[in-house]
Chains A and B, each alone.
Chain A
Amino acid sequence: EDQVTQSPEALRLQEGESSSLNCSYTVSGLRGLFWYRQDPGKGPEFLFTLYSAGEEKEKERLKATLTKKESFLHITAPKPEDSATYLCAVPNAGNNRKLIWGLGTSLAVNP
């Protein structure tokens, strides 16, 4: 069964303390992996798309990487404004119209 699992469920960091969030997936024939950020009371905001193992993308303090089984979202020297829930999703191998979503990692960055 196609599945996306994110860990940890919650993470609390001090400002400047770098860390990584994990998104592991089981889907045959990966057609892309998406990372989103969601702030409380708002819709998910698109961050990155990764298509093949070894691919990396960066945006400010965030860097996303992809292997054949998982993706990491590395946060370097985070700031309080990076506090949000980070979601990942992959297209369902069976039904090409559906994304399989993880439950997210809730990140809190303390000043």
Chain B
Amino acid sequence: NAGVTQTPKFRVLKTGQSMTLLCAQDMNHEYMYWYRQDPGMGLRLIHYSVGEGTTAKGEVPDGYNVSRLKKQNFLLGLESAAPSQTSVYFCASSYGFSYEQYFGPGTRLTVT
């Protein structure tokens, strides 16, 4: 049981480049989330999904897109990376909203 996995673990992008972060969970959770964590800012929700084929905006969605084509996978895309998107990105999943969320190990992204 791997739980929540994320790829890649580290990535360096140049301004304007694009990339996709992949999150996978093997717990059959309906809900999945993408967060970013920055010093002094705490965890901030980017986008979330309440089931396969659904997505919704969180607190800081600008500059990001997501897709949930399969229940176990949640993809986060950066279309044109900016230095302000330098951060650590975490994916999480849960059975439902009022249930605990389980987090992946994170992706450290640097945009130069």
A residues sitting closer than 8 Å to B (CB atoms) are 31-32, 34, 36, 41-46, 49, 87, 89, 91, 96-99, 101-104
Contact = CB atoms under 8 A, between A and B. Distances in A.
B48 A97 contact: yes
Interface of B: 4, 40, 42-45, 48, 50, 56, 58-59, 90, 92, 97-106
B50 A42 contact: no
A34 B97 contact: no
Contacts, number: 51
Nearest 5 CB-CB pairings of A with B = A43-B103, A101-B43, A46-B100, A103-B42, A101-B42
Contact of B104 (A32, A43, A87): A43
Given A42-B105, A43-B90, A44-B90, A32 B98 contact: yes
A102 B45 CA distance: 13
A86 to B, nearest CB: 13
Contacts of A41: 106
A46 B102 contact: yes
A97 B56 contact: yes
Given A41-B106, A98-B58, A46 B101 contact: yes
A43 B106 contact: yes
B43 A98 contact: no
Given A43-B104, A43-B106, A44-B103, A91 B98 contact: yes
A34 B45 contact: no
Nearest to A103: B42
